Structure 1
Amino acid sequence: MLTSKKRLDNAYKTAKVIEFDDTSKFILFSDCHRGDNSFADDFANNRNIYFHALKHYYNNGFIYCEIGDGDELWENLFFKSVFEAHKNVYLLMKQFYIEHRLHTMWGNHDMVYKNPNYVKKYLSTYFDVKTGEDVELFKDITYHEGIILKHTQTNQELFLTHGHQADWWNYLFWKWSRFMVRILWKPLNIMGIADPTSPAKNYKELIKVERRIKKWITDNNNLVTIVGHTHRPRFSEPGDIAFFNDGSCVHPRSITGIEIENGEISLIKWQVDTTDNGFLQIVRNVLEGPRKLVDYKKE
């Protein structure tokens, strides 16, 4: 059985390399868990916040990296029901994709995307009821286990992966977990009972996962590593273990992510707020940073 170290090593060795410089702009989200808009769809509460934020990044020239668990395919059998529930989101993501500004990774809840045949079958097109024809969606898209952002001037690397490699149960036995979620935990989730196998809802498991990833980062010369999976936002200061977590898009009434812009990294949050006149608005707040990426570089 592979250890978490070997699983993370493999994700790094097989990662897609994307070159960037200080003019590049990235937004990193994970753990959207887009569902079917039912009572069990945690994404539904934040979909307007997410869509507004994603439009902001699209209009401002950002590249979107989705670090796993974008789609909730444990609770939902097929992508089709998820697509129909959040069609506006996918059509916006399609625009990113057409302009070569979308990079996707699979996590444990959408691990079926590890299979390129599954991706081709379900994500290439969608059926347009207005025209009665199939329309292109994400033709020839490839999902990765890891992505390396490599700076063209400094050669600094930033490693992006979902992080479930450090969670042996949700990596090796994801099919069993998926079965349990569909049969048992989805109905209980509607009643407010959390799945104890999820590190996002089990603090002891969360700490174990973070500890394993930090150990791997330390063993790899403090390689800047950005993950999701646990849903807990984390931001490292220069000189500390270079461990980052972009959080999730299913926080109560807010979403968190990581921005990379002007050679700097920031942890951000989008949330609903009120004006002095009582109008609701969606606002962006910087939680941590910005910090210069080069300050995390190790020789």
Structure 2
Amino acid sequence: MRAIFKFFLKRPVTWIVNRVSSSPRQENVNKSLSELYQSITTNPGKKGPLFAFRPDEHPVIIFSDLHKGTRDGSDDFGVCEKTYLAALEYYNNNQYYYINLGDSEELWENLLVNVIKYNKDTFEAEKKFVERRAFAKVVGNHDLYWGNDPLAPTFLKNVYGTNVKAHSGVVLRAELPDGSLDILCTHGHQGDAQSDGNAFSKWFVSAIWGPLQGFLEINTNSPSCNDENKTIHNQYMYEWSASQKNLILITGHTHQPVFNSLTHLERLYLQLEDAKEKNDETEVNRILAEIPRRRREYNHVNTHYHSMKPSYFNSGCCCFDDGNITGIEISEGYMRLVKWTSKSGVALREVAEETHIVSLVNALASSESSQ
């Protein structure tokens, strides 16, 4: 039956997809992010909560883009499930606040009841954070259902055992010795022509358009599966965040980690220059060997990577095909990009990048004073 529908519908639907591309425009991204930030900071609760916290005392973990499926051939999360569960156990035991930054459930390709059926262990692990009142759920474009459907609150209550609200974003207000820093956390599909429109367009995408593309096996033009869109997304999110004062932005959406506004490839080029200055031949050779592999993952290097304002971060995803997951930690006064790997059945936490939040604030202030 699917083959018949694909034969008759795939071409016209693909044409429509290309005509109504999800690639955002900078002005739409700016407007959407600014409205979200203003709403949360002036009227907390309507679009998301505002939490004041001390980054040296109240740890936070941010994961995004699990895309929980039904353990079939198209389920990208299945191979990462054990690593994710081990990570959640670690963070719950250490009293972290967990922000789930969207696309947690893959609802373009699957029925919600089936996703719940095949992911009971992960929902139970997340429930432990809910019970501590240490959980915030943010909506992504692949799980827009949580923010649109009138039955969504009932499903969330059934899954987590209590009322859980789905948010458009969260603002963390880090209280520091000499002031504060606002951290806007949102999925990152803001400005997307397909999934960031009015209430009807969001419902249409979540209930009809997205599932139809999934059924017809059409590339959805999402940044996560399109290198050009990853570059566009990173650039637009960076441009907005760089124009703000005393604020950083954390998103997901692209499945591509970004730390201090730099992708892994851009950071490698900085490290290469540093190694050459130090005449560290071993490190130079290591980096030169890694760069070609990373260039297959990134089709663009920002020519201004030396001077970019450290205002944009991306948590990566929890559905890498090697079973690894990445996230953003805020703990002990540091921002960290962490990677969880599974070796010989044992989950291991690795710190890929880190910066002290006070140093980050100073770097932001320095960039702002030079603008």
Match of 2:34 in 1: 9
* Distance in 1 of aligned mates of 2:73 and 2:348: 26
* Distance in 1 of aligned mates of 2:220 and 2:152: 29
Write out aligned runs for 1:44-193 (5 A).
Answer: 44-78=78-112, 80-115=113-148, 117-125=150-158, 137-153=160-176, 154-172=179-197, 175-176=204-205, 179=208, 181-186=210-215, 188=217
1:205 aligns with 2:229: yes
The alpha carbon displacement at 1:4 in A equals 1.5
The alpha carbon displacement at 1:222 in A equals 5.8
Q: Deviations over 1:42-92 (max 9, x none)?
A: 1111101111111111111111111111111111222x2212101011112
* Distance in 2 of aligned mates of 1:186 and 1:29: 27
- Specify the SS of the correspondent of 2:351: strand
Are the aligned partners of 1:40 and 1:186 in contact in 2 as well (CA < 8 Å)? no
1:34 aligns with 2:63: no
1:263 aligns with 2:333: yes
When you count strand as a share of all residues, which structure comes out higher?
1
Write out aligned runs for 1:201-280 (5 A).
Answer: 201-221=225-245, 223-236=247-260, 240-252=309-321, 253-274=323-344, 280=345
Are the aligned partners of 1:46 and 1:254 in contact in 2 as well (CA < 8 Å)? yes
The alpha carbon displacement at 1:6 in A equals 1.1
Are the aligned partners of 2:172 and 2:183 in contact in 1 as well (CA < 8 Å)? yes
1:294 aligns with 2:358: yes
Are the aligned partners of 2:61 and 2:98 in contact in 1 as well (CA < 8 Å)? yes
Output the amino acid matched with 1:142: K
* Distance in 2 of aligned mates of 1:54 and 1:122: 22
Output the amino acid matched with 1:148: V
Identity of aligned residues (%): 29
TM-score (norm 1): 0.85
The alpha carbon displacement at 1:141 in A equals 1.0
Are the aligned partners of 2:103 and 2:143 in contact in 1 as well (CA < 8 Å)? yes
Are the aligned partners of 2:182 and 2:246 in contact in 1 as well (CA < 8 Å)? no
When you count helix as a share of all residues, which structure comes out higher?
2
Q: Deviations over 1:71-122 (max 9, x none)?
A: 11111222x2212101011112111101111111101111121137333221
Are the aligned partners of 2:66 and 2:105 in contact in 1 as well (CA < 8 Å)? yes
Q: Which has the larger radius of gyration?
A: 2
Are the aligned partners of 1:68 and 1:228 in contact in 2 as well (CA < 8 Å)? yes
- Say what the alpha-carbon RMSD is for the aligned residues: 2.3
Which of 58, 63, 76 is the aligned partner of 1:24? 58
Are the aligned partners of 1:31 and 1:231 in contact in 2 as well (CA < 8 Å)? yes
Change (3 A) 1:106 1:177: closer
Give the aligned length. Answer: 277
Match of 1:281 in 2: 346
Are the aligned partners of 2:310 and 2:360 in contact in 1 as well (CA < 8 Å)? no
